[in-house]
Amino acid sequence: MKLCPQCNKNTIDDKYSMCMSCLKETKEANKSVDFSEIKKILEQQNWNLGAIQKWIKLYLLNQLEMMKHQQGLTKLQQQIHISLLNNVGKDFKNIEDISKEIENKLKDYK
């Protein structure tokens, strides 16, 4: 048991970081905070990381394709190559599905 580090009044179990009254106060204080800007930044960073990840996969796939034609691939390289091809195939399938969905919405719109 220890004293709450926030208020130094209430005794709490060692596994907790604050007492219930401090937790309620913190929760109320957070309600007034506008997190929309933080959310936008995190969404943009998530998008950027996803784009970087796709770029790296395509780059590696290209390198493996060149190696495959020049000197052949080891067993591990072949497995990585197959995995990357499957990932790219899924991406193309997603793009195709999105494209069809947009086309259908445009037809409904007209």
Q: What is the pLDDT of residues 57-108, one digit of tens each?
A: 889 999 998 998 889 889 999 999 899 988 888 888 888 888 899 898 888 8
Q: Which contacts qualify for 46-53: CB closer than 8 Å, 24 or more apart?
A: none
pLDDT higher at 109 or 4: 4
The pLDDT, as a whole number, for residue 30 is: 81
- Which tens digits make up the pLDDT trace of 7-47? 988 899 889 999 999 999 988 888 877 888 888 999 999 98
With the C-alpha atoms ordered 50, 55, 67, 93, is the resulting torsion angle positive or negative?
positive
Whether 86 and 78 have beta carbons less than 8 Å apart is answered as no
Burial label for 19, CB within 10 Å (0-12, 13-18, 19+), is buried
Q: Is residue 6 within 8 Å of residue 18, measured between CB atoms? A: yes
For residue 2, give the H/E element and its range: strand 2-3
Which pLDDT belongs to residue 110? 66
Give the model's pLDDT for residue 52: 92
Instruction: Decide if pLDDT at 109 tops 80.
Output: no
What's this model's pTM, rounded to 2 decimal places?
0.52
DSSP string, 13-31: -TT-SS-HHHHHHHHHHHH
